[in-house]
């Protein structure tokens, strides 16, 4: 699998050389608490295990996980990838906290989605954001993801499940030349879980 590029970012397949960056970035609970399967605290063994797993999954055609680097500094800033979960494509991403609010997540995810629809030939990609993660809800809205439902979703770092807004983006929606204005997102109340 080759690397992907955007205006400001390089996305290269995650590999062993990224392990120390993963450990440093995911030591931050503000990052890991918004993710599903990342433990807290996060150790070198966790990083090695993750990289080994995604490397195998890539060879099997089950996951495509990229480390995001800033072209300006040639340093890693985050991670973005696609994997198959229960027969469906799922998008995931995170950035180390110093790199938040620069548009990097949206830029990286847009490139991974182009790869998903154009190379992997996914028909649709799903993603989710926890009820208290407005920034990620905003990223997905800007990318054109549409809300489908709310469900309880595991968060390993939190040690419990939390309400998660599930969303979907189809190939047709992604390919629209003029995407609709991204709708505003708001935090869910705990009572919002669909029965
Ligand atoms: C979610 C995350 C990836 C966003 O990364 P980012 O590079 O800062 O995202 P972008 O800059 O592309 O876009 C963020 C948007 O959310 C908005 N935003 C950020 N924090 C916000 C907040 N607290 N309240 C409201 N809006 C917020 C930004 O203004 C921006 O929207 P805009 O372009 O309309 O102004 C990053 O915060 C992160 O890594 N969080 C922890 C891990 C995580 O949540 N991963 C996603 C799991 S679903």
For residues 123 and 168, the answer to whether their CB atoms sit within 8 Å is no
In 10 A of CB 123, how many CB atoms? 11
Q: Residue for token digits 């489908």? A: 148
| CA 102 to centroid of ligand 1, rounded, Å | 9
Residue of the CA atom closest to atom 16 of ligand 1: 135
Quick one: pLDDT at residue 144?
Answer: 96
Residue of the CA atom closest to atom 12 of ligand 1: 103
**Ligand 1: which of 135, 147, 154, 162 to mutate, judged by most atoms within 8 Å of the beta carbon?**
135
Q: Which segments of 1-133 does DSSP mark as H helices, in order?
A: 19-26, 29-32, 44-59, 104-118
Under-50 pLDDT residues of the chain: 194-195
Quick one: pLDDT at residue 187?
Answer: 77
**Ligand 1: which of 138, 167, 183 to mutate, judged by most atoms within 8 Å of the beta carbon?**
138
For residues 81 and 58, the answer to whether their CB atoms sit within 8 Å is no
Residues enclosing ligand 1, CB less than 6 A? 31, 34-35, 93-95, 100-106, 129, 133-136, 138-139
Which residues touch 189 (CB under 8 Å, ≥6 apart)? Answer: none
Quick one: pLDDT at residue 44?
Answer: 97
Residue of the CA atom closest to atom 2 of ligand 1: 136
Q: Which segments of the chain does DSSP mark as H helices, in order?
A: 19-26, 29-32, 44-59, 104-118, 134-143, 171-175
| CA 186 to centroid of ligand 1, rounded, Å | 13
For residues 78 and 99, the answer to whether their CB atoms sit within 8 Å is yes
Q: Which atom of ligand 1 is nearest to the CA of 182?
A: 34
Quick one: pLDDT at residue 195?
Answer: 42
Buried/exposed 159-168: b ≥16 CB within 10 Å, e otherwise: eeebbbbebb
- Rounded CA-CA distance 115/99 in Å is 23
Please say whether the dihedral angle defined by the alpha carbons of residues 37, 147, 9 and 118, taken in this order, is positive or negative.
positive
pLDDT digits (tens, 9 = 90+) for 65-85: 999 999 999 999 999 999 999
Quick one: pLDDT at residue 178?
Answer: 58
Quick one: pLDDT at residue 5?
Answer: 98
- The topology (CATH level 3) of 4-180 is Aminopeptidase (3.40.630)
Q: Which atom of ligand 1 is nearest to the CA of 100?
A: 8
For residues 91 and 126, the answer to whether their CB atoms sit within 8 Å is yes
Q: Which segments of 63-182 does DSSP mark as H helices, in order?
A: 104-118, 134-143, 171-175
Residue of the CA atom closest to atom 41 of ligand 1: 31
């Amino acid at each position: 699998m080759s690397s992907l590029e955007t205006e400001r970012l390089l996305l290269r397949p995650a590999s062993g050389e990224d392990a120390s960056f993963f450990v440093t970035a995911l030591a931050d609970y503000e990052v890991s608490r918004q993710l599903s399967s990342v433990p807290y605290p996060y150790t070198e063994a966790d990083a090695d295990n993750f990289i080994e797993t995604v490397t195998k999954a890539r060879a099997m055609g089950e996951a495509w996980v990229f480390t995001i680097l800033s072209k300006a500094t040639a340093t890693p800033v985050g991670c973005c990838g696609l994997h198959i979960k229960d027969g469906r494509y799922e998008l995931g991403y995170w950035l180390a906290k110093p790199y938040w609010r620069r548009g990097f997540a949206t830029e990286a995810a847009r490139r991974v989605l182009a790869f998903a629809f154009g190379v992997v030939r996914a028909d649709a990609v799903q993603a989710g954001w926890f009820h208290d993660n407005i920034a990620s809800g905003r990223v997905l809205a800007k990318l054109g993801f549409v809300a489908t439902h709310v469900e309880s979703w595991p968060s390993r770092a939190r040690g419990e499940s939390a309400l998660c807004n599930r969303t979907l983006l189809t190939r047709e929606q992604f390919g629209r030349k003029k995407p609709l204005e991204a709708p505003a997102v708001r935090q869910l109340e705990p009572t919002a879980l669909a029965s």
